[in-house]
């Protein structure tokens, strides 16, 4: 028999389970974005052009979502695109920030 807490009403546990499941999915996606970003940056370090390396992020995001995440095909496809585009966005933002910091340091 499941022990009930007196802090929350009985029906609130279903909502919390859904909330915790959504948070877990968001954490999984954010970890996969970092992993795909690292792979793309490694491609750039080994001489692959920036544009080509960034194009690898989308298939890598799709592959990682189908291999490592759970859900329907539609959910995996959307999450894979989110991972790929998120990794490209992180790459561009980090690169632009690094270039700006370098230019500020060299000009001062």
Tens of pLDDT along the chain (108 residues) come to: 555 555 555 555 666 777 788 888 889 999 999 999 999 989 989 999 888 888 899 999 999 999 998 889 999 999 999 999 999 888 777 777 778 888 888 786
Number of structural domains found in the chain: 1
Residue at 62 is within a domain: yes
Residue at 95 is within a domain: yes
Residue at 22 is within a domain: yes
Per-residue pLDDT, 24: 87
Residue at 2 is within a domain: no
Residue at 1 is within a domain: no
Residue at 6 is within a domain: no
71: left (phi over 0), alpha (psi -120 to 50) or beta: left
Global pTM exceeds 0.85: no
Residue at 86 is within a domain: yes
Report in angstroms the alpha-carbon separations of 8 from 3, 20, 23, 24, 51: 12, 16, 20, 22, 52
Residue 93: domain span? 12-107
């Amino acid at each position: 028999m499941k022990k009930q807490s007196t802090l929350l009403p009985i029906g609130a546990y279903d909502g919390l389970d859904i909330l915790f499941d959504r948070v877990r999915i968001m954490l999984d996606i954010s970890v996969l974005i970092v992993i795909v970003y690292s792979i793309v940056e490694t491609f750039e370090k080994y001489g692959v052009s920036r544009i080509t390396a960034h194009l690898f992020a989308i298939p890598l995001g799709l592959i990682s979502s189908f291999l490592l995440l759970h859900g329907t095909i539609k959910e995996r496809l959307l999450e894979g695109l989110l991972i790929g585009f998120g990794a490209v966005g992180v790459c561009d933002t980090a690169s632009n920030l690094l270039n700006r910091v370098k230019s500020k340091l060299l000009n001062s």
